Structure 1
Amino acid sequence: MDTIISNIQDFMPYIVIAFSAIILLLLILIIVLFRSLSKVEKKYRKLMRGVNNKNLEEHVISYLDKIDEANKTSEAALEHCSVIEERMKGCVQKVSMIRYKAFEDVGSDLSFSIAILDDNNDGIILTGIYSRNDSTTYAKPVDKGISRYDLSEEELTVLNQAINRVNIH
């Protein structure tokens, strides 16, 4: 036993230096761990801000409920848009007009034809014929792009122009 103690005493300065180095390394490690812990604590506080006596799970669930509610509202809005889009097909969407001289002895392009159609090419053609003594306006119905009445050249032109208009939905 005396030999062990004398050997330890011989190496005592080296043992003290080794333990001092270990203690210094442990102190550095503790400082690094405290800094990391401080960063984690800041992130935790940032994550938990605004949470009054609720745990994080309840907070996340409340946000998920809000997301579900927003999705339902969005689906309802899309459905409503579909209904409106379907109803709009019956509204005036295609219009074409032409002015022309119906008679050679009248000086200006005062006669006109207007085609007013919906998305299904249903609607009317309005024609106004101007002459020196008279002015006449009449309408012809259009069903799926076809009129059951005879159409003049100008009326056919405005009808075809209106039918060929591109609707952007």
Structure 2
Amino acid sequence: MEDIISIIQNLMPYIVVALAAIVILFFILIIVLFNSLGKVEKKYRRMMRGVNNKNLEELVSSYLDKIDEANKNSQAALDNCATIEEKMKGCVQKISMVRYKAFEDVGSDLSFSVAILDDNNDGVILTGIYSRNDSTTYAKPIDKGISRYDLSEEEITVLNQAINKVNIH
């Protein structure tokens, strides 16, 4: 044990110099770390300050509020679209027309039938019959694709064409 103590005493100046160098190295390292920490803290404070001296938390909170408001407006718009779509089912959506020659002695296809239907196939068929002496126009109501009145071949054709039209919503 005495040998170890004598070796340590002989090397004591070197040990003190080495420990002093380590302390100086740690001191320099601490200064560098504080300097780096100061730079990071400056960047952090600038980031937290945000725009126009608002801090980042207030900025994020205000954007979240704007997002919530946009979601509410979007949902209101979707609700309005659904309401409008439901109302549109009662509007004219399907129209079909056929021109034909009602009588052999009339030279052109001046007679016509027009089917005007909504999404539920409710509506009317308008028919105009042209002859040499007069012209007659009449309407037949359509309820769910069916008429209470007898339909001519042309009226049946125009009704089926209108019913079979596909609506794209």
CA change 1:105–1:55 in 2 (3 A) is: same
Q: Which moved more, 1:79-88 or 1:64-73?
A: 64-73
Which stretches in structure 2 are left out of the alignment for 5+ residues? Answer: none
* Map of 1:59 onto structure 2: 59
Q: CA deviation at 1:151?
A: 0.4
Identity of aligned residues (%): 67
Q: Distance in 2 between matches of 1:154 and 1:116?
A: 14
Aligned residues: 165
- Superposition misfits of 4+ residues, deviation over 6 angstroms: none
Q: What residue is the counterpart of 1:45 in the other structure? A: 46
CA 1:110/1:55 → structure 2, altered by over 3 Å: closer, same or farther? Answer: same
Q: In the aligned structure 2, how far is the partner of 1:91 from the partner of 1:166?
A: 15
TM-score w.r.t. length of structure 1: 0.77
The one-letter code of the counterpart of 2:32 is I
- Shift in CA distance, 51/154, structure 1 to aligned 2, threshold 3 Å: same
Q: Deviations for 1:129-156, whole angstroms, at most 9, x for unmatched residues? A: 1122221111111111111111000000
How far is 1:167 from its partner?
A: 0.7
* CA shift for structure 1 position 90: 0.8
Which residues in structure 2 correspond to 1:150-165 (within 5 Å)?
A: 150-165=150-165
Q: Corresponding residue for 1:7?
A: 11
What does residue 144 of structure 2 align with? 144
1:30 aligned residue = 32
The CA distance in 2 between the partners of 1:142 and 1:43, in whole Å, is: 73
Q: If the length of structure 2 is used for normalisation, what is the TM-score?
A: 0.77
Distance 1:40 1:168 in 2: 59
1:150–1:3 Cα change, 3 Å: closer
Task: Answer whether contact 1:51 1:59 (CA < 8 A) is retained.
Answer: no
Aligned pair 1:85/2:85, yes or no? yes
Correspondences of 1:56-135 after superposition (within 5 Å): 56-135=56-135
Q: Tell me how far 1:64 sits from its aligned partner.
A: 2.1
Secondary structure of 1:75 counterpart: helix
